[in-house]
Homo-oligomer: A and B are copies of this chain.
Amino acid sequence: MARSTSTQRSLPPSDEIGPGFESHVPGVDYGVLDNLVGYAIRRAQILVYDDFLQALAPWDITPPRFSALVLIARNPGMKQTDLAQLLGIARSGVVMLTDGLEALGYVRRVASKTDRRAYMLELTSAGSKALSAIEAAVREHDARMSSRLSEAEKSKLIQLLARIGPAGEQQ
């Protein structure tokens, strides 16, 4: 199956997803990896990321692009620097991300009235409209990826994942 979409082009080869990833191959000794929470997260992330890209390819939407659209839609007046922090990406990354969403016609930069150096982000009407369909596709993808879990297990998983991080961090 061809998996090279335009959204993957910027990934370095070692982060590109190869064909036929199986999260646990019988007969292979995974050693310590099987006991690491971090490896379990990474393994799930690879599967989810791959399926997300395929499911959202019609809209050219990647996981960070989707998160950005949702956050911009729901938090009026959001600046690029806020978005970078919320997404956990570098400033140079958020500029590239915003450029991409602007090129798709989904987002526009609006000069802030209170801070001349800052731009606020907002959805265009095309962006709002697309987001409905995109969100439905993401929900479907997410349900598919967690279809072997009950609703209670899904909630439990989300709760446990929210507690991952250095002990000092308050959530």
Give me the interface of A with B, judged by CB distance under 8 Å.
10-25, 28-52, 63-64, 67, 70-71, 73-75, 84-97, 135, 138-139, 141-142, 144-149, 153-154, 156-158, 160-167, 169, 171
Contact = CB atoms under 8 A, between A and B. Distances in A.
Q: Is the interface of A mostly helix, strand, loop or mixed?
A: helix
A171 B13 contact: no
30 contacts: A11-B15, A12-B12, A13-B95, A20-B85, A21-B87, A21-B88, A22-B85, A22-B86, A23-B88, A25-B85, A25-B86, A29-B75, A30-B74, A35-B158, A36-B138, A36-B142, A37-B142, A38-B63, A38-B142, A39-B63, A40-B157, A41-B45, A43-B161, A47-B166, A144-B167, A145-B165, A147-B167, A148-B167, A149-B160, A149-B163
B70 A33 contact: yes
Contacts of A14: 10, 64, 89, 93-94, 96-97
Nearest to A34: B158
Given A144-B166, A145-B166, 9 more contacts: A10-B14, A14-B97, A18-B94, A29-B75, A32-B135, A33-B70, A147-B167, A149-B163, A156-B156
